[in-house]
Structure 1
Amino acid sequence: MSQTFPVDSAVELAVVERSGFVESRHAGAAIVLSPEGATVRALGAVEEPILPRSCMKPMQALGCLTAGAPLDGERLALATASHTGTERHVAVVRDILESAGVDESALACPSAWPEDRASRDALVRELLGPERVYMNCSGKHAAMLLACRTNGWDTDGYLDPAHPLQVHLRDLVERLTGTRAAATAVDGCGAPVYAMTLSALARATQRIGMSSARSPFALHRAAGLLVHAVREHPWAIQGEGMPDTMAAARLGVFAKSGAEGVCVMVAPDGTTVALKMLDGGNRAAAVTALALLTRTGALPAAQVSRVIAELPLTVSGGGQKVGVIRPTV
């Protein structure tokens, strides 16, 4: 059976302190690439397979773009997003669906409540419930449907690994990572997700993150448009006050978080980090990635500190701050 790396191949990446006592430890693996692609730091089993989860979305969005889907601006950023389901997010997803000539019932992702509390509360007050369009992956699915309609592919079964869209996406993922998929699994939204090493994930993300819309190469031009869309519309990639949005808006970082403790970030100079928390916890992933970029000199420490101060890293006791979640790398 395919599997991720074992506990004895992991290293400590972050701890949780409560009243000066280290209560919990997050172990995993991480890799940092220089702007030229050389490995600057390798912590733990970076050559063992992991499931990138939503960290694969930039590759999938790029695949929809190269398949001819007419996506740009906010719509392209939403195709890459794990959004929080605000009215603003959902409006763009519905716009993509309208362009595809399909309604929300065509989405094959599961129904969900918005992750944004205010948006969820608004639905409750209106006596409404979870819907597919509120699911954090609905932008990706809408983009997939648009790619299908653009190419005349059947929209039924668009998540089947044998569907022409998914064949195209897998080919692009393997082209960007430079490796064959170690395994195929079903992501939480129902789409295929491919096992790859952290080093392969970092290389692929860096290739996207360093691309220019003025490149002479079509794939790099498309990737440059994607990165520009995220940096121009950082609210779309996740949501206000969320790590990916804050990293993009405040630090110019192309960031993408995934379920089960996976995170990738590309600094403006191209320095790239990819990490996996072995316990699947996300609470320390983004701050650890930011710390790794800062300690390699890719990000200014003072600006990063201000961003970290606004992340939900406080440990509470009796309604008071008694500790913090902090990276140890």
Structure 2
Amino acid sequence: MPSAPAHAPSPTTPAPLDAAGSVELAVVERSGFIESRHIGAAVVVDADGRVLRAVGEARALVFPRSTLKPVQALAVLGTGARFTDEELVLGTASHCGSPAHLAVVEGMLAADGRDASALQCPAQWPLGARERAARQAAGLGPARITMNCSGKHAAFLRASDALGADAEHYLDAEHPLQRRIVETIEEWTGEPVAHSGLDGCGAPLHATSLVGLARAIARIAAGADAHAARLMAAVQAAPWAIDGPGRANTEAIERLGVLAKIGAEGLVVIGTPSGHAVAVKVLDGSMRATTPVALALLVAEGLVDPAAASEVVAAGREPVLGGETVVGGLRVTAV
């Protein structure tokens, strides 16, 4: 059982994002009637952290969940651990659990003299609906390796080896790798870690503001140092590995040449090679509006091609149906 990080909020720590700090980001319309509204906050920054556009309270704290994986990957690279492109992207991924994803993770573990029993993420069904259905049809259940963070955990194990640290306790908050991750988060976000907890995969999780999170992603996307450049090259070489063919992050990377990463509970970050990034948090945790809002904000700032952005949104669009007729859909209102 991993130990919980010791950081706790102080009286001067920014508060978590709440309804008062949120604004409407998008609506869902049915037959000309607004049926649902998504509220939250978002920000577009450059690599210096200069805010180009903010909606809602972008300096409030959020748990960044898997949008923090690119920063964690920098810490892993900083240990001297070596990876192929596909392995590095799986270390950054929230993968859908396809056979191709599982093969890379199994290969990482085998190369290090391990198997899936060494993973300390929980046993879960694959993130992808098709992948879950295929596993059920084969009479198989949830597994550690099909959990969407299994690649990150395999990378953590390899990084522990590179540090000469106890790999059995790689999730403990005081483990040398986890301490290195905190230092990397503070360096790249430009913010002190003020509150920590545990992520769904069991790893330590550290709160950031949306501004700090976007700043880190902007710097990574611009290849601000050798590790960031290495990560970006890997993501561009193997975009399928970070999510899955036809899925939101992979579509954005392939069509726009960006770094895109979702996070549970309504989060997404997208960074451009020009050194700009957007971070979005939908307050109620829904993922439906995240990528459309993020891309609309980047388009509004002239940072991505509008036609290509529209293609990404269309690829993931969930139409509102009345029987077999499309009677509505999601509309971004943040811009």
Deviations 1:40-94 (A, max 9, x none): 1111111111100000000111111111211131111110000000000000111
Deviation at 1:228, TM superposition (A): 1.1
The letter for the 2-side match of 1:150 is A
Aligned to 1:288: 293
Q: SS at 1:41's partner residue?
A: strand
| 1:113 alignment partner in structure 2 | 125
Residue 167 (structure 1) aligns with: 179
Structure 2 residue aligned with 1:181: 193
State whether residues 109 and 116 of structure 2, in contact with CA within 8 Å, keep that contact through their aligned partners in structure 1.
Answer: yes
Q: How far apart are the structure 1 equivalents of 2:324 and 2:154?
A: 42
Checking the alignment, whether the CA contact within 8 Å between 2:16 and 2:61 is kept in structure 1 is yes
The partner residue of 1:320 within 317, 325, 332 is: 325
Q: Provide the C-alpha distance between the structure 1 equivalents of 2:239 and 2:202, rounded to a whole number of angstroms.
A: 25
Are residue 145 (structure 1) and residue 157 (structure 2) matched? yes
Unaligned 5+ runs, structure 2: 1-7, 10-14
| Structure 1: runs of 5 or more not aligned | 213-219
- Displaced runs of 4+ in structure 1, greater than 6 A? none
Q: 1:202 matched to which residue of 2?
A: 214
Structure 2 partner of 1:91: 103
For 2:315, what is the secondary structure of its paired residue? Answer: coil
1:1-329 to 2 correspondences below 5 Å: 4-34=16-46, 37-211=49-223, 220-329=225-334
Deviation at 1:31, TM superposition (A): 0.7
Equivalence for 2:5: none
Question: 1:80·1:237 contact (CA, 8 Å) conserved in 2?
Answer: yes
Give the SS at the match of 2:81. coil
Contact 1:113–1:135 (8 Å) recurs in 2: yes
Report the 3-state secondary structure (helix = DSSP H, G, I; strand = E; otherwise coil) of the residue aligned with 2:169.
coil
Cα distance in 1 for partners of 2:313, 2:29 equals 16
Structure 1 residue 313 displacement after superposition: 2.9
User: Percent sequence identity over matched residues?
Assistant: 47
Please give the secondary structure, in 2, of the residue aligned with 1:153: coil
Task: Count residues in correspondence.
Answer: 322
Amino acid at match of 2:278: V
Q: Distance in 2 between matches of 1:11 and 1:295?
A: 17
SS of the residue 1:102 aligns to: coil
User: Cα offset for 1:269?
Assistant: 2.3
Q: What displacement does 1:118 show?
A: 3.1
- For residues 263-296 of structure 1, the C-alpha deviation after alignment (integer angstroms, 9 at most, x for no partner) is 1111232221111111111110011001100111
Once the two structures are overlaid, the 10-residue window that deviates more, 80-89 or 265-274, is 265-274
C-alpha separation in 2, matches of 1:120 and 1:47: 37
Answer yes or no: is the 8 Å Cα contact 1:49–1:182 preserved in 2: no
Structure 2 CA distance for aligned equivalents of residues 199 and 127 of structure 1? 45
Q: Deviation string for 1:214-271 (max 9, x for gaps)?
A: xxxxxx1111110111111110010111111000001111111101111111123222
Which sits farther off after the overlay, 22-31 or 316-325?
A: 316-325
